[in-house]
Chains A and B, each alone.
Chain A
Amino acid sequence: MSVDARAGAGTLPLPNEFDEVDLVPVRTYWQLVRQRFLRHRLAVIAVVVLAILIVVSIAIPMATGIAYQKSSLTLIDGVSSLQAPLGYNEIGQNLFLRLTKATQTSLVIGFASVMLIGIVGAAVGSIAGYFGGWVDNVLMRVVDIVLSLPFLFLVLIIVSVFGIRDIRVIVLAIAFAGWTTAARLVRAEFLQLREADFVAAAKALGASPRRIIVRHMLPGAMAPLVVALSLGVADAIIGESALSFLGFGIAPPEVSLGQMLQNYKEYFYSNSERILYPAVVLIAIVMCASFLGDGLRDALDPRQRVEN
């Protein structure tokens, strides 16, 4: 502000006079992003909780191998011990190991499907937004069609008609049903960016459409996409757990958070804490993902200012 005023007045600072701007260290965009993100207390907590969940859900299943699948007649409904802090289930499987493996499954499905959604959404949205006209029209009608069916319904029919209940099919189904929002978002950004001077400059220099989209315009559309995708992790994980809960998702002996809740009727009459463990982890992941999204939205927006 003060620089502008002085420049406008046409005066230069004297050599022995300190300009206040010089005293403030120069901060890059990413430093500003980090500062704004760290200011968002809930988002920071969310990152810590997510990091703990990721580390635990990778390390423990890796160290114990397929022990989470082993059942034992002598350990049916076994009480908690050092090896099994949460006890054993109705077929004598170690509940703690199953919970960590289930968390891993849910996180893998969440992040993998969101990555696919990001790629497909960015591709469709940027092509529709850049070329406009009939290309845009056709692609957006396809988006309308996919959006007319509820997410869960589409995921359900895709997974069930394929008849293979494993992670890859579920990720593909979630991505197929969920790419539309990302595509709309990227398209909206592109419609604005298309009119920008730097795009006209790139065109004048003879850059190919592919180069303009990938190198010039996509970086500008990344911020809203990243925010939407981090919120999308929650949707993907809820989608998978609802699928497994309804009996269409991950099949035993593999395990996922939704599947651990399938026998809720029996559990509620005998061991209601067995509902609680996967429920708490699921809610924790979902809330963390949404706080992370909020934090990223505030951090990535260059219009937000940081006081010192």
Chain B
Amino acid sequence: MASYVIRRIIQAIPILFGISILIFGIVQLAPGSPVDRFRVPRVPPEQIEALIRLYGLDKPVLEQYTSWITAFVQVWRVDAWGYSFIDGRPVIQNILERLPATLLLMGTALVVTIIFSIPIGIISAVKQYSWTDKIITTFATIGYAIPSFLLGIYIWYLGGVVLADITRDLFGTQWGFPLFGRQSLGSDNDPVDLAFHLVLPVTALAIQSISGFSRYLRASMLDVLRQDYVRTAKAKGAPGSRVIGRHALRNALIPLITLIGLSVPGLIAGAVITEFIFSYPGIGQLTITAIGQNDYPTIYATGMLIGVMVILGNLLADILYGVVDPRIKY
């Protein structure tokens, strides 16, 4: 197992190099240069020349790439990922400040997804073709088809605006879930406040993965329920809950574990949109701001970080698959 993990990590290194070349290449191919925004009459040309030399933009592309990548891997240095063009702070510092928020959002969404999709998938498979199943499958199809940003803005509307209207009419005081940020002013590190702020973004992020996961679990459960060992368990007189919970569910969950690892890219893309809609201070919002303002060091860093997260997700999926399924040997 350990040798397998090490081998997979070594295999991931060329992929990471590839990602770095891809991101660097896209930015290099782009017309214009990051100093273009200083080309206004008030800024003398010598000043711009100095900026070009400072950023090393006058050097050949290959040299720029090697100097960037050699600095980039020295993550223990605070200036390894360069300084943001927007606020001049070290990129590493900006990212480290926002990473916990994004991991919290994605992690909570994943936990909520698992909590909801397992019972939904089981009910839908055990009562196949019943009304419950039909309603669940219809909702899952719709939830899967609605674009995530559309879902996000409607949740923003229902959880904040509509709820505030309803509470005002019923109780006389307006109350809705917080619509932006991670903490209210003056209540730093207050877990209750944090939880309230998380409700809407997590819902927005989880609904889509719940529909995907429960559809997947339904299919996998239906597959398992047809197996001989389930019939054997029923035949020997095991109670229905035991057949489903112990014999069927455990085997149906195996493909789901892979799905968790593979859902990382979707969760990241969803987090970018959700953080934008709810002004949640995480990596996604940082990425959007950086992309919007051509902040190249931050774009490089967030791109690499996202690549690492996706590769780790894939690795985790493969390792967990071996852990839960004793038939798989590495």
Q: How far is the CA of A161 from the CA of B146 in the complex (A)?
A: 28
**Nearest CB to that of B268 among chain A residues?**
A150
Which of B103-111, B234-242, B287-295 contacts the other chain? B287-295
- In this complex, how many residues of chain B approach chain A with their Cβ under 8 Å: the count is 43
Q: How far is the CA of A145 from the CA of B19 in the complex (A)?
A: 6
Which of B23-31, B77-85, B125-133, B168-176 contacts the other chain? B23-31
Q: A145-B19, A279-B150 are in contact. Are A157 and B265 (CB under 8 A)?
A: no
Determine if B30 and A163 form an interchain contact, defined as CB atoms under 8 angstroms apart: yes
Q: Which residues of B contact A223 (CB under 8 A)?
A: none
**Nearest CB to that of A241 among chain B residues?**
B147
Determine if B161 and A162 form an interchain contact, defined as CB atoms under 8 angstroms apart: no
**Other-chain residue from B19, B142, B157 in contact with A268 (beta carbon distance below 8 A):** B157
**Nearest CB to that of B277 among chain A residues?**
A264
Check if B57 is an interface residue, CB within 8 A of chain A: no
Check if B153 is an interface residue, CB within 8 A of chain A: yes
Which of B88-96, B193-201, B213-221, B303-311 contacts the other chain? B303-311
**Other-chain residue from B145, B148, B157, B306 in contact with A149 (beta carbon distance below 8 A):** B306
**Other-chain residue from A153, A275, A286 in contact with B147 (beta carbon distance below 8 A):** A286
B151 CB, min distance to chain A CBs, angstroms:
10
B 134-147 binary contact with A (CB < 8 Å = 1; else 0): 00000001100111
Number of A-B contacts (CB under 8 A): 117
Check if B299 is an interface residue, CB within 8 A of chain A: yes
Q: Which residues of A contact B265 (CB under 8 A)?
A: 147-151
Check if A290 is an interface residue, CB within 8 A of chain B: yes
Q: How far is the CA of A272 from the CA of B311 in the complex (A)?
A: 41
Check if B269 is an interface residue, CB within 8 A of chain A: yes
Q: How far is the CA of A156 from the CA of B276 in the complex (A)?
A: 14
Determine if A264 and B153 form an interchain contact, defined as CB atoms under 8 angstroms apart: yes
Check if B186 is an interface residue, CB within 8 A of chain A: no
Check if B266 is an interface residue, CB within 8 A of chain A: yes
Check if A283 is an interface residue, CB within 8 A of chain B: yes
Q: A144-B15, A149-B303, A149-B307 are in contact. Are A161 and B145 (CB under 8 A)?
A: no
Q: Which residues of B contact A268 (CB under 8 A)?
A: 153, 156-157, 161
**Other-chain residue from A151, A161, A261 in contact with B269 (beta carbon distance below 8 A):** A151
Check if A141 is an interface residue, CB within 8 A of chain B: yes
B27 CB, min distance to chain A CBs, angstroms:
5
Q: How far is the CA of A161 from the CA of B26 in the complex (A)?
A: 8
A 83-127 binary contact with B (CB < 8 Å = 1; else 0): 000000000000000000000000000000000000000000000
User: Which residues of B are in contact with A by a Cβ distance under 8 Å?
Assistant: 14-15, 18-19, 22-23, 26-27, 29-32, 141-142, 145-150, 153-154, 156-157, 161, 265-266, 268-269, 272-273, 276, 287-288, 291-292, 294, 299, 303, 306-307, 310-311
For the complex of A and B, 6 pairs with smallest distance between CB atoms: A161-B30, A145-B18, A150-B269, A150-B265, A152-B269, A264-B153
User: Which residues of A are in contact with B by a Cβ distance under 8 Å?
Assistant: 141-142, 144-153, 156-158, 160-163, 234, 238, 241-242, 245-248, 258, 261, 264, 268-269, 272, 275, 279, 282-283, 286-287, 290
